[in-house]
Amino acid sequence: MHRFVWFTLLLVSPVSFVMAADTGIPALQLVTNEDGSQSYSVTLQIMALMTALTFLPAMLMMMTSFTRIIIVFSILRQALGLQQTPSNQIILGLTLFLTIFIMSPVIEKVNQTAIQPYINEELKPLEAVEKASLPFREFMLGQTREDDIALFLRISGQTADSPENLSFWVLMPAFVTSELKTAFQIGFMLFLPFLVIDMVVASVLMAMGMMMLSPIIISLPFKIMFFVLIDGWALIMGTLAASFNV
């Protein structure tokens, strides 16, 4: 573990590291605690944290409700027949804030059990990370299908007697697979009513002999009107938020 941290620091800031070693700055050294154990200094912890933040986007997508929400919104846009409306920026922003709303109980648990004790120097860095992972593990286990967990356990050759003993590297791909399945199931249910409207409009145009007129041009206003009349955005957001049972 020590070698990994030193190697990471050399990659992140080799010049500053060499200068610190030459001048003998004690902030970049291991600190001996009162009980005789050793821990990393604050400077090392901050640099390791800044390096870990590069994985934050992947963690956001793979460990939260982000994946399911953005896939459902993308399928909805295609079902409506709108290629660029809402734009990608709006969909990403809406997905991000809805993810924060859904994950707020988990974030609150992490703040109470890990962040605040670490700020008050009641927990060591590794202990804080372990405490912070527990609410996320609980959330991911609640959304993961047993079949997906069994699949990745079989692929990895590992065994787990209980969910608490399940490896994190098995839980994460199983969680993502379950989220993809759920997102496509919701997307399929969203696609059906708009597909019916397209079929009805196409049949009417063929019956009237207007075969050169694209059915999409005629059905698009009806699909938008239908979506607005049923208050579609509120229904979809409420359904997505309720589907996580957080």
Single-letter amino acid code for the residue at 106: V
Placement of tokens 């912890």 in the chain: 45
How many CB atoms are located within 10 Å of the residue 148 CB?
20
Could you give the 3-state DSSP secondary structure of residue 108? Answer: helix
- Tell me, what's the pLDDT at 20? 41
What the block records as the tokens of 164 is 């608490």
Give mean pLDDT in consecutive 10-residue pieces for the chain, a chain of 246 residues.
41 41 46 53 68 74 87 89 82 90 89 83 77 86 87 83 78 90 90 87 81 77 87 87 80
Q: What pLDDT shows up at residue 12?
A: 41
Residue that has been written with the tokens 């050294």 in this structure: 29
Whether 17 and 10 have beta carbons less than 8 Å apart is answered as: yes
CB 36, CB 30: distance < 8 Å: no
Cα 136 to Cα 153: distance, rounded to the nearest angstrom: 19
For 167, the token pair is 């490896």
Angle at 203 between CA 215 and CA 196, to 5 degrees: 75
Q: What is the model's pLDDT at position 184?
A: 92
80: nearest Cα among 69, 68, 72: 72
Quote the CA–CA distance of 47 and 13 in Å, as a whole number.
Answer: 9
Give, as one character, the DSSP assignment of residue 40: E
Report pLDDT for 32.
53
- Sign, Cα dihedral of 236, 241, 78, 206: negative
Whole-angstrom distance, CA of residue 65 vs CA of residue 75: 16
